[in-house]
Structure 1
Amino acid sequence: MGTSNNYDVEDRGEPADNTAPVYSSAFLFKGTGEIRIEHAGFCYRLKITRQGKLILNK
C-alpha cells in the first residue's frame, strides 16, 4: 500500500526516499482511540478526535 508521498507504509517506518519514517495511524492505534508515547521520562497521550484529527497531550 503505497502513498503519493513516496513512502511505503506497509514497510512500517521504512521510507522509500530515506527521510523520516512514516507510520500509518491504523498501525499505531490498532483499533483504539488513544495511545501513549513515552519520551524523555514523560508520558504523552495521542488521541484521535471525533472529527478524525490527532491531539497530543502531556
Structure 2
Amino acid sequence: MSAALPAPVREMLLVDDDPGDRALIAEAWSTHQPPARLHTAVDGADALAFLHRRPWPAS
C-alpha cells in the first residue's frame, strides 16, 4: 500500500501598486484550497526581481 503524496504547493505572484488591494487579495487568497503561497510585488521591477530570484529593493 502506498501513501498518497501531498499536492504541490502552488505559487502565485501578485503585482499591484495599491497596498489596500494587495491586502484584500492576500486575505481572499488565504482561504484558497488547495493552499497556495502568494508573493507580492509593487511594480514590474519588483516582479522581475522576484522572477529572476534577485534581492528585492526595500519597499
Task: Return the structure number with greater relative CO, CA threshold 8 A, min gap 6.
Answer: 2
> Same fold by TM (over 0.5)?
no
Relative to its length, the structure with more strand (as a share) is 1
Give the TM interval when normalised to the shorter protein: under 0.3
Q: What TM-score comes out, normalization by structure 1 length? A: 0.24
